[in-house]
Amino acid sequence: MTLPVNQLSDPAVRAFVTALNANDEPGLFEVLTPGATMSDDGSERDVRQWLDREVFASRGHMDVESEADGGRALVARYRNDTWGEMRTKWVFTVDGGKVSRFETGQA
């Protein structure tokens, strides 16, 4: 089962997923705080480089299966043109209504 993005509980996470799925680069960076950080499978990554490679250049898309922690923890089927589809987990830190950190990896 997939949760509709417009029903995700946390507004910042909802905006993040909406922009990611629309391949909306300005919109995605708008929802991130300046200096936002991230990790992928436990390894720290440069946010801009990772998003360019894993989302924008490869048409990333997430179908959210479930949420927890007030909408700041997601399990989603993530797919892009590079890796195909995989089940992933996403954990978001939100400060002042924007995402200051996200961690992703295989679920």
Residue 1 has pLDDT above 90, yes or no: no
Mean pLDDT of the 61-84 span: 97
Q: Look at the domain 5-106 and name its fold.
A: Nuclear Transport Factor 2; Chain: A, (3.10.450)
- What integer best gives the mean pLDDT of the chain? 97
45-59 per-position pLDDT tens digit? 999 999 999 999 999
8-33 per-position pLDDT tens digit? 999 999 999 999 999 999 999 999 99
Tokens of 101: 């950190």
pTM: 0.96
Task: List the chain domain ranges.
Answer: 5-106
